[in-house]
Amino acid sequence: MGINLWGICFFFGGMILASVPALIIYTVEINKIIKKIRKRGRKNVKNIILKG
């Protein structure tokens, strides 16, 4: 049982650590999109979202 618990803890810890840089990159990309929307105005919001 002890080995299984350590394995589970290690697995979830690794998942969390792996997701942190992805979250940082994601927030940066979202901020870029928000800045584009503010610059171009409300009319082109749909086009920006569709293009990604």
Give the DSSP letter of residue 44.
T
Question: Can you give the C-alpha Rg of the chain in angstroms?
Answer: 19
Q: Which residue has the higher pLDDT, 45 or 8?
A: 8
51 has a pLDDT exceeding 90: no
Q: Which residue has the higher pLDDT, 15 or 37?
A: 15
Q: Please, what is the end-to-end C-alpha distance for the chain in angstroms?
A: 46
40 has a pLDDT exceeding 80: no
Contact 23, 16 (CB under 8 A): no
d(CA 17, CA 10): 10
Domain boundaries along the sequence of the chain: 19-52
50 has a pLDDT exceeding 60: yes
